[in-house]
Amino acid sequence: MEAISILITGGTGSFGNAAVEYLLPSNDIKKIIIFSRDEFKQNQMQKKFGNFPGGKMRFFIGDVRDPVRLSQAMKGVDLVIHAAAMKQVPTCEYNPLEAVKTNILGSQNVISAAIARKVPKVILLSSDKAVLPINLYGKTKAVAESLFIDANGWGDKKTIFSVVRYGNILASRGSVIDEFRTQSEKGDILFITDKRMTRFWWVLYDAVEFVMCASWAMTGGEIYVPSIQAASLKTLAGHFCSYCRVREEGIRPGEKLHEILIASDEVRRTTNDTWAYVICPENEFFEHPSCGVGLKVEDDFSYCSNDEKRQMTSEQLEVLFERTGIDVKGGRK
């Protein structure tokens, strides 16, 4: 297989850093282009990865709101991973138009630039919050998903688009673990919104590996969903800091008690392909041979973070913390 060039929008974030670390040693990768608007973080990445043998790294200062700059950056690219987004739920709630500009209009710009440059494959990183959304972040991601799926019917169809949808990355930048770490350093109280609240949790390395598997399998229009488990914030806090007390602050604007990764109305077109759940597109103009390879899930299939069968045991949660490099008594190892 010929080596490929990959562009990652929002590439200075947690996913981008992990993806570069994962991909750089591979002989199948010719070039990795980091596209982001943060020059300081790009400089940090250059210091960390720029001297890797082979000169694979490239850095583009740019914003997904700027279609011209996106088009410049995509020249000669084989795969785009669209990770750029405003992700913080409260920030999106209080800055709705800015979230629309980045998460929706920015996604449309990525689509248009990729088609113009005839990029073979483009993947959107989405979220469980896009399923039956009640907050603006989730709504913008739901629209971005629809844009990406519909884009498969545009132009000469030289570019195919798919979506990867997953839950929270444990210990990613800005995550609840960061909050717990700061709180435990100041005292013995961890503040959580609601003890009943549950979320899906995943390790960053697994997310990168899953996205790359999807990039190999995709034929256009699919939503790929991993099989991951969940835990309540109360359980997570207890494992992070065993000596800390937990205090509730109340649910913030736009937050759900529980998240869903596959909606009940999506179940009828979902298959279990062993390594992933695949939600097939409904549009008649698609040809999607990858869908239906696995077995169709049962009609009563449920994928909610409060499902009893999806709750992690103490041992499983400890393994997750260990793989992330987090000391269960608080802080990183």
Q: Which of 129, 139, 141, 256 is catalytic?
A: 129
Higher pLDDT, residue 81 or 289: 81
Nearest-5° Cα angle at 291, 290 to 295: 115
| Domain range for 161 | 4-167+201-228+260-304
| Residue 255 domain flag | no
| Residue 194 domain flag | no
> What is 178-195 written as a DSSP string?
HHHHHHHHH-SEEEES-T
| Residue 245 domain flag | no
Q: What is residue 185's predicted lDDT score, i.e. its pLDDT?
A: 82
Longest dimension (CA), the chain: 60
Q: How far is CA 295 from the centre of its chain?
A: 25
Q: What is residue 332's predicted lDDT score, i.e. its pLDDT?
A: 42
| Residue 209 domain flag | yes
* Mean of the per-residue pLDDT values of the chain: 90
pLDDT surpassing 50 at residue 331: no
pLDDT surpassing 80 at residue 54: no
Rounded average pLDDT over 211-229: 95
Q: What is residue 110's predicted lDDT score, i.e. its pLDDT?
A: 98
Q: What is the CATH number of the domain that holds 75?
A: 3.40.50.720
Q: What is residue 154's predicted lDDT score, i.e. its pLDDT?
A: 84
Q: What is residue 284's predicted lDDT score, i.e. its pLDDT?
A: 62
| Residue 320 domain flag | no
pLDDT surpassing 50 at residue 153: yes
pLDDT surpassing 90 at residue 53: no
Q: How many domains does the chain have?
A: 1
| Residue 247 domain flag | no
Rounded average pLDDT over 96-118: 97
Q: State the Cα–Cα distance between residues 244 and 259, nearest whole angstrom.
A: 26
Q: How confident is the model at residue 51 (pLDDT cuts 50, 70, 90)?
A: confident
pLDDT surpassing 80 at residue 43: yes
Highest mean pLDDT among 112-126, 155-169, 242-256: 112-126
* Cβ count near 138 (within 10 Å): 22
Q: What is residue 286's predicted lDDT score, i.e. its pLDDT?
A: 61
| Residue 243 domain flag | no
Active site residue 87: no
| Residue 265 domain flag | yes
Share above pLDDT 90 across residues of the chain, in percent, rounded to a whole number: 69
103-108 long-range Cβ contacts below 8 angstroms, 24+ apart: 103/137, 103/140, 103/141, 103/143, 103/144, 104/140, 104/143, 104/144, 104/147, 105/65, 106/9, 106/63, 106/64, 106/65, 107/64, 107/82, 107/143, 107/144, 107/147, 107/148, 108/147
